[in-house]
Amino acid sequence: MKALRLHSYWRSSASWRVRVGLHFKGLPFEYVAVHLLKDGGQHHSEAYRALNPMRTLPTLEWTEEDGSQRRLSQSLAILEYLEARFPAPALLPKDTYLQAKARMLAEMVNSGIQPLQNLSVMQRIKSELKADDKAWSAYWNARGLEALEAAVKPLAGRYSVGDEVSFADICLVPQLYGARRFGVDLTPYPTLLRIEAACNELPAFQAAHPDRQPDAAPA
Amino acid sequence: MKALRLHSYWRSSASWRVRVGLHFKGLPFEYVAVHLLKDGGQHHSEAYRALNPMRTLPTLEWTEEDGSQRRLSQSLAILEYLEARFPAPALLPKDTYLQAKARMLAEMVNSGIQPLQNLSVMQRIKSELKADDKAWSAYWNARGLEALEAAVKPLAGRYSVGDEVSFADICLVPQLYGARRFGVDLTPYPTLLRIEAACNELPAFQAAHPDRQPDAAPA
């Protein structure tokens, strides 16, 4: 893999996950900013839809040694691919059952929380249903994080699954950032907060943080 | 793995995916019906929450040869686990890049469509926001299937990725069933319909169909 280009938005939690993965594996990449709000949402542009018809972030593009062009979207599919191509340092436990548990925790965020409060959904809640999009998002975050706290507790060491970083942590950290933005009280989730603090000590998580991205526009 | 027990609901699309996987791999299992509507939703019971705090279906339980009890939820995490333990017959392509594409297509359904129209979300749209839950679900199905049709087209053979069944097909078939229930016009997605027809010829897909489950209650 060479000439990696990540189509990303600083605050997109799925983009954030892949940024952690790339930094963790030591893979340099070009950052291609796609603004989710400017121009009516640059992810809705024809050019971006040609890359990713689902209009989601991120999309990773790269060139193989033989010159062939590659493209992939969906954060967990990208992380699985990076794990297969660059197994060290690992982002999944060696034990097959613990691997499954790491994927389960990752999916609890990836399919169980994040989709219900992504920007497209919030926009529709607000514009079509004339409802409180922030309250909607806070509800699903609290409901999901309560379940995640219960599911993580018997598995956690320093990180979500034992003492090694995994997909579960990569999904957790951006989700907690989102939950705070929606005003969710995180004190009922001490295990998740402890794991987040451990992750935040790692250079890959630091480098992937929204505020460190070229398109960051902190308030 | 022995004494497999699948907590399932006949119409749950995530349960359906795992049923296909189990039948495809030739793994017998006990069917434990969890009714999503009876008793205020049996997945909200204390007993089920102890198994799966996210209150989603399915959950797979089993016993290892050494007697240890195992439990896993999240359909794609379960399918990955079955694939690792029983690699033949395969449900992912051998080529790493095509494998990634199969996972990408699966995630477009798993995180991109299904979560936005699962029962919990529909109930909240209806009861809390007093809005049309069926119109809500139809919108996200049509939007997602349009993207899926575009993403599948360059990859498809007889199935979603070439001529071998994969996770992508396992996610597709139950989603199309759901889309029909919400009244979505599927004629704009001829590739998806063609793949669905090919899948429906396979015994594993036939055995996993909602109407064939012990808790089925067809209208």
Share of chain A above pLDDT 90, in %: 95
Assigned CATH for A2-87: 3.40.30.10
A contact test, residue of B17, B46, B65, B107 with most A CBs within 10 A: B107
pLDDT tens track for A162-191:
999 999 999 999 999 999 999 999 999 999
- Write down the mean pLDDT value for chain B: 96
> What is the architecture, at CATH level 2, of domain B96-204?
Up-down Bundle (1.20)
Q: How many CB atoms lie within 10 A of CB B183?
A: 12
CB contact under 8 A, A100 and B78: yes
CA-nearest of B96, B151, B162 to A1 is: B96
Q: Which residue of B has its CA nearest to A64?
A: B97
Judging contacts by C-beta atoms under 8 Å, the chain B residues touching residue A112 are 54, 56, 74, 115
Q: Does residue B17 contact residue B79 with C-beta atoms inside 8 Å?
A: yes
The SS3 call for residue A81 is: helix
Fold held by B2-89: Glutaredoxin (3.40.30)
pLDDT at A212 over 70: yes
Q: Which two tokens stand for residue A12?
A: 């997109």
Question: Under DSSP, is residue A24 helix (H, G, I), strand (E, B) or coil?
Answer: helix
Asked if A54 and B116 come within 8 Å (Cβ–Cβ), the reply is no
Q: Which of A99, A107, A129 sits opposite B131 (nearest CB)?
A: A129
Q: Domain boundaries in chain A?
A: 2-87, 96-204
Pairing of strands B2-8, A2-8: unpaired
What are the residue ranges in chain B where pLDDT is below 70?
Answer: 219
Instruction: Tell me: pLDDT of A219 over 70.
Output: no
- Which residue of A72, A104, A147 is in closest CB contact with B72? A104
The Cα A90–Cα A25 span in angstroms is 8
Among the partner residues B80, B85, B125, nearest to A103 by beta-carbon distance: B80
Residues of A in contact with B129 (CB under 8 A): 125, 129, 131, 136
What percent of chain B is modeled with pLDDT above 90?
95
C-alpha distance from residue B46 to each of A26, B53, B104, B195 (Å): 44, 9, 34, 40
How far is the CA of A121 from the CAs of A46, A47, A126, A170, A200, in angstroms? Answer: 20, 22, 9, 22, 29
Average pLDDT, integer, range A143-152: 98
Share of chain A above pLDDT 70, in %: 100
Closest residue in A to B131 (Cα) is A129
Residue-wise pLDDT for A24-62, tens only, equals 999 999 999 998 888 888 989 999 999 999 999 999 999
pLDDT beyond 80 at A13: yes
Q: Show residues of chain A in contact with B136, CB under 8 Å.
A: 129
- pLDDT tier, A218 (very low <50, low <70, confident <90, very high otherwise): confident
A interface toward B at CB cutoff 8 Å? Answer: 53-56, 70, 72-74, 76-78, 80-81, 84-85, 96-97, 99-101, 103-104, 106-108, 110-112, 114-116, 121, 124-125, 129, 131, 136, 139, 144, 146-148, 150-151
Chain B residues lying within 8 Å of A150, measured CB to CB: 53
List the single residue in A with minimal CA-CA distance to B69. Answer: A97
Contact B116 A121 (CB under 8 A): yes
Per CB-CB distance under 8 Å, the chain A contacts of B54 are: 108, 112, 144, 147-148, 151
Q: Which of A81, A85, A116 faces B121 most closely, judged by CB atoms?
A: A116
Inter-chain contact B116–A111, Cβ cutoff 8 Å?
A: no
DSSP codes joined into one string, A96-154: HHHHHHHHHHHHHHHTTTGGGGSHHHHHHHHHTS---HHHHHHHHHHHHHHHHHHHHTT
Which residues of A fall within a CB distance of 8 Å from B139? 124
Q: What is the pLDDT of residues B177-216, one digit of tens each?
A: 999 999 999 999 999 999 999 999 999 999 999 999 999 9
Interface residues of chain B, partner chain A, Cβ below 8 Å? 53-56, 70, 72-74, 76-78, 80-81, 84-85, 96-97, 99-101, 103-104, 106-108, 110-112, 114-116, 121, 124-125, 129, 131, 136, 139, 144, 146-148, 150-151
pLDDT of residue A40: 85
pLDDT at B219 (0 to 100):
67
ipTM entry = 0.97
Nearest Cα neighbor of B52 from A207, A215, A192, A146 is A146
Q: What is the mean pLDDT of chain A?
A: 96
Lookup: tokens for B70: 């195992």
Edge-to-edge strands, sheet with A30-33 = A30-33, A2-8, A59-63, A69-73
* Distance (Å) from the alpha carbon of A150 to chain B's nearest alpha carbon: 7
Distance from CA of B28 to the nearest CA of A (A): 20
